[in-house]
Amino acid sequence: MRFMLRHRHDASECAVAYAAWRGFESPLRRESTLATCAVPAGPDGPEHLLMWTVEAPSVEEALAQLPPWLAARAEARPVAEVLIP
Ligand SMILES: [Zn+2]
């Protein structure tokens, strides 16, 4: 199954969110993804959002691709491709 992982953290926790990957094995490491971390704070406030689309057999295994600190602050939703008319 394919899942969309969405992790949120406060701007003040940004360094923690990246340091949490050190020593953690995951297929997501050293790959690019979309995030608001590098975007100046806008109308949505200081909250940062990181997103990944991953393949995994279950929600638990999808979240296990994130370090525990990120997984505890993330949601995994099953997704599938659609064709926009
Ligand atoms: Zn951030």
Specify the fold of 2-78.
Alpha-Beta Plaits (3.30.70)
Model pTM above 0.75: yes
The rounded Å distance from CA 57 to ligand 1 centre is: 28
Note down pLDDT in tens along the chain; length 85 residues. 999 999 999 999 999 999 999 999 999 999 999 999 988 766 667 889 999 999 999 999 999 999 999 999 999 999 999 999 9
Q: Are strands 2-10 and 34-35 parallel, antiparallel or unpaired?
A: unpaired
Closest to 35 measured CA to CA, from 1, 67, 78, 5: 5
- pLDDT for 56 equals 98
Q: How far is ligand 1, taken at its centre, from the CA of residue 29, in Å? A: 16
Task: Calculate how far, in angstroms, residue 2's C-alpha sits from the geometric centre of ligand 1.
Answer: 24
